Amino acid sequence: MPWIELIVDTTDEAVDWVYTLLAQAIAANDIHIHKYEASDNEIQSSSQWNYTIQIYLAKNDQIHQRIDAIAAMIAPLQRTGLINELQTFVVTERPIDRDLEENPTKFLVRRIGDRFVVVSADANYQTRSPQEIVLHLQNSLAFGSGLHPATILSLRLIEKYFHNWHKPNNEPIYALDLGSGSGILTVAMAKLGIEVLAIDNDPIAVAATEDAIARNQVSDVVTVSSASLGTASQLGHWLGSDRPASTTAIAAAGQFDLIVANIFARVHISLAAEFAQALKPPSATTSSPRLLITAGYTSDRADDVIAAMQAVGFQLGDRQQMDEWTAIAFQK
């Protein structure tokens, strides 16, 4: 059967968000993501683009309307420099079909840290030990599932600090997932016994988080809301002017034991004071840390984020690195 192949190149920072945007109109198994490796002969002369996203549409009477709709949907991405120009080809097969035929488990399981195992929604996965924590996600395990390096680093820090933390008298740990995206971090915290408020200013992300919560059966300890923290509600959507300019603000009122934020460096910096205000004050009756886990930025912005957090009283904790991506834990 003939297929129409649409190709667009994108960056390390944007690939997760580009996939998420496309996934609202295209089935997950119709999207293929290829990362250029240093040894890849087809690497492009410009180092700006690190990934190619291939979209496959069945060739039928509505194909021109679908292509026009996709082009209009991703036009803001091109205007903001996150992707290049959309290219169109006619092909006879989809690479993702060939990949799955050769290795049917390729997209099913990803292990992160010592305990987390991320599987696709319909995977029939049997745990290897009682310590494993299985996270089911709706999308195929491409980057739109949340397996961006920044998310992997966040999961590692969550596991390190909270895999064995219990407050005195069985008091609940209360966390904020700021920019919940696919919901993977929210689910991970919930399965560690943490109560979570998951917020995002993107309706697509809110829906994805709600789906992840339902699939993983953790709705009893999670609240999902279309919102942001404090003044972040005025920063607008990451895509720009064609999205809502503001969203509901959650007041920073000393209500959280833990904040996890996988967002742009500029937002971390602008929210530093509100992060400090949103964490509970230190208590003489418990040794539980008041922790902020920051991710979503590359190592060239790490010093700026550290300076902003230390200026409002945070102490530098653990720092994790993967390629050029950084995640840092700060304690109050």
pTM of the model: 0.75
Q: Is the dihedral of CA 226, 228, 234, 237 positive or negative?
A: negative
Written as tens digits, the pLDDT of the chain (332 aa) is: 688 989 999 887 777 778 777 877 787 678 888 776 554 444 444 457 888 888 889 888 889 999 999 998 888 888 888 888 898 988 887 766 665 555 555 555 778 888 998 887 766 777 888 889 999 887 545 455 556 788 889 999 999 998 766 556 677 899 999 999 889 999 999 999 999 999 998 887 888 899 999 999 999 999 999 999 988 766 655 544 445 555 788 999 999 999 999 988 999 999 999 999 999 987 655 656 789 999 999 899 999 999 999 999 999 999 999 878 899 999 98
In degrees rounded to 5, what are phi and psi of residue 285? -95, -5
Each domain of the chain, given as residue ranges in start order, spans 3-100, 146-331
Q: Do domains 3-100 and 146-331 have the same CATH topology?
A: no
Q: Which CATH class name applies to 3-100?
A: alpha beta
In degrees rounded to 5, what are phi and psi of residue 74? -95, 0
Is the domain spanning 146-331 CATH 3.40.50.150? The answer is yes
Distance CA 259, CA 253 (A): 13
The angle formed by the CA atoms of residues 73, 78 and 84, to the nearest 5 degrees, is 115
